[in-house]
Each structure stands twice: as structure tokens, then as C-alpha cells.
């Protein structure tokens, strides 16, 4: 502390936290788009707001309370329910865009959760990044590429608000709608990337084969048929009629081992492969059927 008393040092720390909250307040808004308590949102650009999808229950009569206390109407620009993100558009370009952190958060990093859940102003909570994970399948049927698990209290209306560092720079967007109420934060790099796609297209395209599968061990004898070491694959337990998988001749009991030579060890691998880039394109499926290896060509549909 170099000559400072403990009280002087704590005063400076407190002032720093206060400044961080004030800085985050300039880009944090209230989102009134559901019957119960409103949620929060973050200024993505001068007229776009990124928020949690589950706080946008209606697509009309959306009202935004801005940091200056004024109210603006907003329309839905796009949504990605699988990753619990929605993008709203204001009629006027009046927002101060969020200042994003220069580096991604780290395990053990202290941070603040900042929200605007009511007209009285911002609310702030203390947070610690307790873990960083991903990819992980969400309860909404998507694959979240990366997330922060927070040691923080999920106060009402905090979903859609920001996780900010102690300089007030945005680390992530908070949500309790992805993992059964667990309070997570989607890193700003991931959230902003999704926001960019929503701004351009209004939705996130995801590939679709029309199968139900479960992980299964591949015996060493069958690994020889693949001509590589791969201990797990996906056993097909259902093939829906009229889907790309059915049209390609896939059958219940097949083991799906790879797509375009990329091995599939679990359902998360499959979701990752079936990205927007492959929708509408023809891919090569590598299967094990009756102890034999075979390949099938299939045109990926859109879910």
C-alpha cells in the first residue's frame, strides 16, 4: 500500500468499483417485454440492444428504458433461443455502445453484475468467475461454445445485464435461462458474434439430419474397419421419415462415426459439425453397419 493507510486504500478500491458501475450504467438498459419483472439489456450499437431471449416474451409493444430515463419503443431484430440471446432495434440511434474488455475473463477474476431491472436505476452485484467451460449442450437445444460460471446471486431482472470487470468494461452477458436457473455469463466475444449474425440475418441457421442418437463404445474390431482409433461413436436410435437422414438411407442401429472425416464421439460433436456453414451442402457420413464401414452422402437440412 506504500504509505497509504488501510482505510485510504479501501476508499480508493471502493471508488474504483463505483466508477466501474457508473461506466457500465451508460450502456445498460431496462427491457420491458414480458408480463412479469422486466429484464436488462446491453447497448450493442447506437440503435441495437442485446439481451437474454427468455426475457423477450412478446414481439410487439417492447419498451426500453434508457440510461437517461427516457423510454423508446423497440422491435425484435432477431433471436437465438438456443443460446438465449435476442437482438432489439430502437427507432432512433441514441445508445452509447458497450465498452468491451480487451481480454477474456479468467478463473478467479472478480467482477460485477450490472443490471437495470426497474426504473429506479441500476443495480449491482458482486461476482467471481468460478469456472470457464464449453462447448456444452443447453436446455434450449443449442450448443454454447463457451461460458463463464459465476459465483454470484441471480437477482430478479439481472438476466440480459452485463458481467463487467472492475474498470466497467464488458466481459459477458448474464443469463439464468440456459442451465436450469444456474447463473451463467456468455463471454462478450461469443455474444457479440451471435449479435452480428442476428443483425444481418435475424436468426442463426443450424443444420439438421433428422436422427436421434446416443453415444456408444466402438469395439476394437470395428475400429479396425474405420482404419483408425476411435473409441466412441453415435448409435442411431431413431431416424425420422422424410428427413435428410431417411432420404440418405440411414437406419436405426447404424453407428455414425464421422462427418466429412471429422470423428463424432458424442452428441455435442454432432451439433458442432452441423453449423450454419454446412446447411444446404452435401456432406459425407461415415457409418458402421453390420461390422462394415460404409459412406453415405447427405444434404444437410435446416432446423
Residue 297 belongs to domain with CATH number: 2.30.42.10
Residue after which a domain boundary falls, among 140, 167, 200:
200
Residue after which a domain boundary falls, among 148, 175, 200:
200
SS3 at position 223: helix
Main-chain dihedrals φ then ψ at residue 197, nearest 5 degrees: -65, -40
Helix (H) or strand (E) holding 75: strand 71-80
Is the model's pLDDT at 9 over the cut of 70?
A: no
Residue 191 and residue 290 in one domain: no
Residue 229 and residue 286 in one domain: yes
Residues 6+ away with beta carbon under 8 Å from 52: 39, 84, 85, 86, 159, 160, 173, 174, 175, 177
Residue 201 is among the residues annotated as catalytic for this protein = no
Total count of domains within the chain: 2
Residue 159 is among the residues annotated as catalytic for this protein = yes
How many helices (H) and strands (E) the chain has is answered by: 5, 22
pLDDT digits (tens, 9 = 90+) for 109-144: 999 999 999 999 999 999 999 999 877 777 766 778
Partners of 283 in the β-ladder: 298
> Which listed residue (53, 80, 84, 254) is catalytic?
84
Residue 178 and residue 74 in one domain: yes
Residue 26 and residue 166 in one domain: yes
Residue 35 and residue 157 in one domain: yes
Is the model's pLDDT at 1 over the cut of 60?
A: no
Range of the domain at 266: 207-302
Residue after which a domain boundary falls, among 200, 223, 255:
200
Q: Which among 145, 150, 198 is positioned nearest to 176, based on CA atoms?
A: 150
Residue 89 and residue 220 in one domain: no
Cell of 4: 497509504
Residue 135 and residue 62 in one domain: yes
SS3 at position 196: helix
Residue 177 and residue 39 in one domain: yes
pLDDT digits (tens, 9 = 90+) for 145-183: 899 999 999 999 999 999 999 999 999 999 998 877 789
> Which listed residue (40, 53, 80, 159) is catalytic?
159
Residue 84 is among the residues annotated as catalytic for this protein = yes
Is residue 160 within 8 A of residue 31, CB to CB? The reply is yes
Q: Structure pTM?
A: 0.77
> Which listed residue (32, 40, 54, 80) is catalytic?
54
Amino acid at each position: 500500500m506504500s504509505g497509504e493507510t488501510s482505510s485510504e486504500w479501501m476508499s480508493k478500491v471502493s471508488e474504483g468499483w463505483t466508477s466501474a458501475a457508473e461506466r457500465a450504467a451508460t450502456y445498460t438498459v431496462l427491457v420491458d417485454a414480458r408480463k412479469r419483472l422486466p429484464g436488462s439489456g446491453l447497448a450493442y450499437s447506437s440503435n441495437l440492444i442485446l439481451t437474454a431471449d427468455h426475457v423477450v416474451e412478446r414481439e410487439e409493444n417492447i419498451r426500453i428504458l434508457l440510461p437517461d430515463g427516457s423510454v423508446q419503443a423497440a422491435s425484435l431484430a432477431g433471436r437465438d433461443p438456443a443460446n438465449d440471446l435476442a437482438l432489439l432495434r430502437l427507432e432512433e440511434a441514441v445508445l452509447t455502445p458497450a465498452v468491451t474488455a480487451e481480454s477474456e475473463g479468467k478463473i478467479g477474476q472478480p467482477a460485477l453484475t450490472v443490471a437495470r431491472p426497474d426504473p429506479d436505476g441500476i443495480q449491482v452485484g458482486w461476482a467471481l468467475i468460478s469456472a470457464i467451460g464449453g462447448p456444452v449442450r443447453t436446455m434450449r437445444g443449442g450448443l454454447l461454445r463457451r461460458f463463464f460460471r459465476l459465483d454470484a446471486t441471480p437477482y430478479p431482472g439481472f438476466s440480459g445485464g452485463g458481467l463487467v470487470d472492475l474498470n466497467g468494461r464488458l466481459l459477458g452477458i448474464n443469463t439464468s435461462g440456459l442451465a436450469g436457473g444456474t447463473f451463467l455469463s456468455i463471454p462478450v466475444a461469443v455474444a457479440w458474434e451471435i449479435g452480428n449474425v442476428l443483425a444481418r440475418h435475424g436468426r442463426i441457421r443450424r443444420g439438421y439430419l433428422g436422427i436421434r442418437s446416443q453415444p456408444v463404445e466402438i469395439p476394437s474390431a470395428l475400429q479396425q474397419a474405420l482404419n483408425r482409433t476411435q473409441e466412441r461413436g453415435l448409435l442411431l436410435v431413431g431416424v425420422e421419415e422424410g428427413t435428410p437422414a431417411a432420404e440418405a438411407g440411414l437406419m436405426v442401429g447404424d453407428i455414425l462415426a464421422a462427418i466429412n472425416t471429422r470423428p463424432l464421439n458424442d452428441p455435442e460433436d454432432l451439433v458442432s459439425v452441423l453449423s450454419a456453414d454446412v446447411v444446404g451442402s452435401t456432406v459425407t457420413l461415415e457409418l458402421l453397419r453390420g461390422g462394415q464401414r460404409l459412406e453415405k452422402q447427405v444434404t444437410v437440412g435446416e432446423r
